[in-house]
Structure 1
């Protein structure tokens, strides 16, 4: 199969960016000639009460050109992070606007995709008003988080002519994050039950707290309303979003919208951002951003996008096509359980295991004597209480900590695929069950020596210990 641009056919075939690999057909019109220089101009525009500032990279030659607005990935999003794309697109004859992402109303714990989509629409309005831009051919390029935002903007605005995404996920933000975290854990040598605990019960627990912004945003519902041409690309080595799974969602949901120009493909030798990477975790060459390389643009990657944009602008949007994923990858996992169950179970376990300590405190406050339980039974009950509290609090705390920080730091010593803290928590869980058996055994031997009030406490403690078993299975402590 031939490559988009006849003049680049030989080069792109050598690099592996052919129609088979990128999902682009051979009937694309000739690409516009690359410009030797670009013209930069500063712009400002308002959205939701915030003044946003950006740079327009304009082609050097006169006349009207297609326009494209670059929509950020997650994080602070200063425009310099996307200067390589902006220069490449402008050099290919596309007027490109990249702007600083809003900082007001956007943070680690709060973001609103609807507001970000309105920001993108406002940027499109800026480009459409320029004399050097064809107002009927202005579209969006969305990276990562922008792969959720750009389709949302296109679904609500008739001024957007097309959408290009790189590294966009077809799954919810939380489900995508846990998939990425699985890859990050595996990269650190972690296997076994911890990734399942993080992606399952831990993710559901976090979801219910509301601290993970836009956790359950449904990209499929948005894609099913997008009717403009879409080019969706993923890096061959993307470890942050499930590329193959997302490509299927894009194709399915956009077809549901009646969209007959949906092209999905994969960029050979690229990571999440479409730049050079050997494994998805490194970035090879390219500009420095915050002291770290962004990775070079994979040769041919920008050409595929700009050729496709020029074809759409010429009224020759290609028919839908889907490239095959370069290699199989594990699918995402939906969080399991319900937040109400998670919090109720946690409260019951903590209260049940704390009963001996609460009873002892009550005896002190009421100036009553010490427990009348036989010493072996008293010791086993205290052990069950302490081990139970430590295991439950430790498990929830550690899994949430991994969810919050596991993509940014090392988890330390790993033994047989398990980080040392997780291994210790699993051993503690076994100790809890041993303590349950010990309490039951000592009680059966000294049944006549246990006062009535303390029988109730022991019964509650044993029932809590029994309830701990399904909870521990749910949190993968015995996985």
Structure 2
């Protein structure tokens, strides 16, 4: 006979059954640890950063009962990055005895939707999820960040004393706008490009993006956050890094940590490695192999923290091609106004000629030939530059075209067109003056607008490097 429904025994049995069912449900929902081919284990997890669910994978050494290991959360570089992009390093860290979490980066609404504080929230959310595992030593759990992640993890560490250490890889010590300008200059010169186009792409175009507010976190200064970091820091820069200025960055790290009173840092250059620590001979062409020396440094440094953090130590500065420079913002309003005047002036002349023909007006007006040259070459020059800069922006200036005499062929074509515009403008102005007595009021107005476009084109083309060697 069962106990009475309101008896203590019956109520205890009901609670026991409910608890057992809940545990069974959670077990069914939680993905089991999976055996990796090399003996490591993997487990997919989901954690929340605010209202945003993030998915990741924990890669760990095979668990030993009662053994807690150091652990690290890997924080992404820029762009749309998934956890798979860091699997090679994560598996290497796990083989070195470090439990590692890699996760998919939060989705971006647009290229300008970047917030380092939100990314730091995500890193800390992953940190809390990893730190609570049974096989993880919570006092030995830290953050690893590469490239953009090198701006993010000091912000996270400054907000949580629970973070045990930081590993910064290819981290920039200068603002994003300076770093990107330096990166583009290196990329173009590495492809054999020289002359005005280098400045146009690496400074003028970046200045316009900054001035228009389309460069996220453009002026972010990493030094204040670094000065607030009290945890041990391992900073690593590739000897062949052409993306961030390694020499300046290592110096900023050292000075900022010293200013904050942090004497527990190790700063090193990794020989033969590029920005993401892949083996590379020149920093431009890279292989798939991650530098073994880099992996060894991370593994030994993290595991060595159990015996106490090392004293401050800085190795030789990485090789750096030239110093970074401040980027002057370019007014988008002024540029839009100039382009509008140029398009109206050059396209307007052709449209008015088409309307004149449709109305059946016969006879060639004076100054027709040089004016046509000016209108046509001017329109092609403006549209060509806008199109080419747009292409370089979307491609990251990785394929500017075949290079002849230090200039990509498209750029040479644009410079030639710009010279044609200047010559045509001068020719049109002289011809208009000589034929002024034969010009009708309507044609004078058309030529006046066209010549105004030619006058605006000269400083505009100089500003964008089209008339500069």
Please indicate the TM-score interval, normalised by the length of the shorter structure: 0.7 to 0.9
Cα distance in 1 for residues equivalent to 2:120 and 2:55: 16
Could you tell me how far 1:426 is from its partner in structure 2? 0.3
Tell me if 1:71 matches 2:75.
yes
Decide whether aligned partners of structure 1 residues 432 and 307 sit closer, same or farther in structure 2, where only a CA change above 3 A counts.
Answer: same
Alignment of 1:280-295 (within 5 A): 280-284=283-287, 294-295=288-289
Q: Deviations over 1:346-370 (max 9, x none)?
A: 22322333342354466578x5846
Per the alignment, residue 455 of structure 1 pairs with: 444
Q: Deviations over 1:299-357 (max 9, x none)?
A: 332232233334445443422x4333343412334444333332232223223333423
Q: TM-score by structure 2 length?
A: 0.81
3-state SS of paired residue (1:276): strand
3-state SS of paired residue (2:280): coil
3-state SS of paired residue (1:300): helix
Per the alignment, residue 231 of structure 2 pairs with: 228
Per the alignment, residue 201 of structure 2 pairs with: 198
Could you tell me how far 1:130 is from its partner in structure 2? 2.2
3-state SS of paired residue (2:182): helix
Per the alignment, residue 350 of structure 2 pairs with: 357
Could you tell me how far 1:406 is from its partner in structure 2? 4.3
3-state SS of paired residue (1:63): coil
Cα distance in 2 for residues equivalent to 1:163 and 1:270: 20
Alignment of 1:143-292 (within 5 A): 143-209=146-212, 212-284=215-287
Per the alignment, residue 52 of structure 1 pairs with: 54
Q: TM-score by structure 1 length?
A: 0.79
Q: Is the 8 A contact 1:124 1:159 kept in 2?
A: no
Q: Is the 8 A contact 1:275 1:298 kept in 2?
A: yes
Per the alignment, residue 84 of structure 2 pairs with: 80
Q: Deviations over 1:402-458 (max 9, x none)?
A: 1221455x3332211111111010011111110121012112212222334543443
Tell me if 1:325 matches 2:328.
no
Tell me if 1:425 matches 2:433.
no
Could you tell me how far 1:268 is from its partner in structure 2? 0.3
Per the alignment, residue 337 of structure 2 pairs with: 344
Tell me if 1:435 matches 2:424.
yes
Could you tell me how far 1:127 is from its partner in structure 2? 2.1
Q: Is the 8 A contact 2:241 2:283 kept in 1?
A: yes
Could you tell me how far 1:278 is from its partner in structure 2? 1.9
Per the alignment, residue 466 of structure 2 pairs with: 477
Cα distance in 1 for residues equivalent to 2:378 and 2:433: 21
Per the alignment, residue 298 of structure 1 pairs with: 291
Cα distance in 2 for residues equivalent to 1:255 and 1:338: 38
